[in-house]
Chains A and B, each alone.
Chain A
């Protein structure tokens, strides 16, 4: 049984920090940008791992369906659980395998989503601290609904499950916002021993709004050809936002990214890609191979503009004029900026993908079907028929985006290369 955040600390010290040094030292603008983006992440993770051994602090383990701001309002250290495997999938494959094994040995079948198996395995291996609490919405998928009760048992920390509305209009954001107010706030008050401070929450939301507006701007620039940043970096502001929104560090990081992007548009893009194809990536890319997207750019001249799930900030900043609008806006971010998007029915997923496809002037789709994701695999039929009918070149790739042993990077490259040779 490991110590809390033992493996996480290992990643920070053995990979993230040396990587930072290395990237900074390179004479390449993109690498330098990557380094600067990484800085905020390293700082955040260090804060988190330190908090594990501090009984005064509380670590907020939360799932998609929520964004960090409310946890900051209660002075907690938030960890967006579903981003957790990605810390390891590229550089610590043995940890990935270890955690997956642990989950399977305890009785969870191998056809359950590897993200959930990873998290259960991590919990069983003692990776999460005792001064944590755990909040999740009841969804958006089967994997989470079974992993999280199992995690609850494995963690032995206070846990709350929120009902998730499988509807998409404003009313569902209002409804979910009410759930947050009537269920989550009292829960947080109890586990932290602090009273909810509306003004503090407003401050933090306003901070996150600053970050959000900058992020909107950045995503706007992705409609240009060529993209101002390489494919592998374009999701960075979004990743920072959903992990850290509300913290000045997140705003600073996104501001830095924004400034760099604007500078490049004015002064010239350092490593412009000849974009033979612009791709919308449906669902999630394989995080175990960080070189896949750069390879696509260099070898195939194919640029992945964005992915459906990290798609783009699609909402407006949160309206802080009243408590009600604030909770509505916050709820909406949780619903539509995170993987809770998977509550969209197949037609709506298609609609959304096509909206991005057109907005970012793409000419092809790579639709990945994560093995173990009953949801995205089941949506494939409707997507395939539509793309065929409209003559939109679409590659359907099966893979596991956490576990490199299922479909190898080599195999993926082969299929991608074959596909683009037919367009």
Chain B
């Protein structure tokens, strides 16, 4: 029997299809304005990839910020449950997880049974999130993927002094107008984001090993800066870090439907 999980976040939709705990397909789809459509589309893409156009999903659980807007989900679940389930399956040794996603930063500790013990979420402020980075990249008029790699070489990160996302944006624009090096600017933005992520993480325990998931986990300069800021090294999970929550949802779908 086939099970699926769909994670509808604020900047992308993710779908994972499994059978007997094994992954058949993983798909991610960034979107701008139509979350419901993105969810439908990403699940179609995943089904195609798994070669499942006709076969039905027996049970599907949704998670993420837009979990209630996923029309084909049988039920929705909190992200903490899905993330911890997936991580526990992928690597039960992991004790701390940072989820740096589109609009939220979450950090939590897990015990050996996979249960979440302490957790912290970022505040209302957008600074330090994936969305923030996207907006900044736009201000720099370069694709974020390119910036994230190229800026690793910058030796002169231009620090952003503002804590607030809105002020920070205006600072970046000032730098751009003054003709400063875009890579240096982006390196400064990365430091700022890393600082925010680290600030949330410091509210829980830094028990090793630690993993980072979510969109920002694929951003090499931010990951490097977070590691430096916290004085740690992340362990790899054998899965696209954006798909972790969706994978957890799929696993839980299988467990709960079977019972």
Chain A residues engaging chain B, CB cutoff 8 angstroms:
369, 371, 384, 388, 396, 398-399, 406-407, 411, 414-415, 417-419, 421-422
Q: Are A415 and B121 in contact (CB under 8 A)?
A: yes
CB of A340 to closest CB in B, whole Å: 27
Q: Is the CB of B124 within 8 A of A417?
A: no
- Is B152 an interface position by the 8 A CB rule? no
B123 contacts A422, CB within 8 Å? no
Known pairs A371-B124, A398-B124; A422 contacts B203 (CB<8 A): no
B65 touching A414, Cβ below 8 Å: yes
Q: Which 8 A-B pairs have the closest CB atoms?
A: A421-B78, A422-B116, A398-B123, A418-B78, A407-B124, A398-B124, A422-B80, A421-B81
Question: Can you name 10 extra interface pairs (CB under 8 A) apart from A421-B80, A422-B115?
Answer: A384-B203, A388-B118, A398-B123, A414-B65, A415-B121, A418-B106, A418-B121, A419-B119, A421-B81, A422-B116
Chain B residues whose CB sits within 8 angstroms of the CB of A369 once the complex forms: 123
CB atoms of A418 and B80 under 8 A apart: yes
Residues of B96-130 at the interface with A, using a CB-CB cut-off of 8 Å, are: 106, 108, 115-121, 123-124
**How many Å from the CB of A369 to the closest CB on chain B?**
8
- In the complex, chain B residues whose CB is within 8 Å of the CB of A398: 123-124
Interface residues of B in 54-97 (CB under 8 A from A): 65, 77-81
Q: List 5 A-B contacts (CB under 8 A).
A: A369-B123, A418-B78, A418-B79, A422-B78, A422-B80
B-chain residues with CB within 8 Å of residue A407 when the two chains form the complex: 124
> Which residues from chain B sit less than 8 Å from chain A, CB to CB?
65, 77-81, 106, 108, 115-121, 123-124, 203-204
Q: Which of A384, A406, A422 sits near B124, CB closer than 8 Å?
A: A406
Q: Which of A406, A414, A422 contacts B119 (CB 8 A)?
A: A422
In contact, B65 and A422 (Cβ under 8 angstroms): no
- Could you say which residues of chain A place their CB within 8 Å of the CB of B115? 422
Nearest neighbor of A380 in chain B, beta-carbon distance:
B203
A394 — nearest CB in chain B belongs to which residue?
A: B118
Closest to B76 in A: A417
Tell me the complex Cα distance, A398–B105, Å.
14
Name the residue on B nearest A388 (C-beta): B118
A384-B203, A414-B65, A417-B78 in contact; A422/B121 too (CB < 8 A)?
no
The interface residues of chain A lying within 8 Å CB-to-CB of B108 are 422
Q: Which residues of A contact B121 (CB under 8 A)?
A: 415, 418
Q: What separation, in Å, do the CA atoms of A388 and B79 have in the docked complex?
A: 21
A307–B118 CA distance with the chains assembled, in angstroms: 23
User: Is B124 a contact of A399 with CB atoms below 8 Å?
Assistant: yes
Expressed in whole angstroms, the Cα–Cα distance for A371 and B108 within the complex equals 24
Residues from chain B with a CB closer than 8 A to the CB of A418 are: 78-80, 106, 119, 121
**A319 smallest CB distance to B (angstroms):** 45
**Across the interface, which residues of B come within 8 angstroms of A422, CB to CB?**
78, 80-81, 108, 115-117, 119
Kindly state the separation between the CA atoms of A92 and B117 in the bound complex, as whole angstroms: 40
Contacts of B123 in A (CB 8 A): 369, 398
How far is A399 from B117 in the complex, measured between Cα atoms in Å? 24
What's the nearest-Cβ distance from chain B to residue A392, in Å? 11
Nearest Cβ on chain A to B191's Cβ, whole angstroms? 23
Q: How far is the CA of A6 from the CA of B108 in the complex (A)?
A: 50
CB B5 to nearest CB in A, in angstroms, measures 15
For A385, give the chain B residue with the smallest CB separation. B203
Q: Which residues of A lie under 8 Å from residue B124 when comparing CB positions?
A: 371, 398-399, 406-407, 411
B204 CB, min distance to chain A CBs, angstroms:
8
CB distance from A212 to the nearest CB of B (A): 38
CA separation between A407 and B104, bound complex, in Å?
A: 13
When distances are taken between beta carbons in the complex, the residues of chain B under 8 Å from A371 are 124
CA of A279 to CA of B176, assembled, Å: 49
Complex: how many Å from CA A422 to CA B117? 7
Q: Using CB atoms, name the residue of chain B closest to A417.
A: B78
Determine which residue in A396, A415, A417, A421 has the highest number of CB atoms from chain B within 10 A of its CB, and name it.
Answer: A421
The smallest beta-carbon distance between A320 and chain B, in angstroms, is: 47
Q: Kindly list chain A residues whose C-beta atoms are within 8 Å of the C-beta of B65.
A: 414
CB distance from A279 to the nearest CB of B (A): 16
Among residues of A, the one whose C-beta sits closest to the C-beta of B115 is A422
Q: Which one of A398, A411, A419, A422 has the greatest number of beta carbons of chain B within 10 Å?
A: A422
In the complex, residue of chain A having the shortest beta-carbon distance to the beta carbon of B63: A418
A396 to B80, CA, bound (A): 16
Which of B65, B78, B115, B124 has the most chain A CB atoms closer than 10 A to its own CB?
B124
Chain B residue nearest in CB terms to A111: B164
Which of A369, A407, A414 has most chain B Cβ within 10 Å? A414
Kindly provide the distance from the CB of B106 to the nearest chain A CB, expressed in whole angstroms.
8
Minimum distance in angstroms from B123 CB to a CB of chain A: 4
Residues of B within 8 A of A411 (CB): 124
Bound-state CA distance A396–B203 (Å) is: 11
Give CA–CA (A148, B28) in the complex, Å: 53
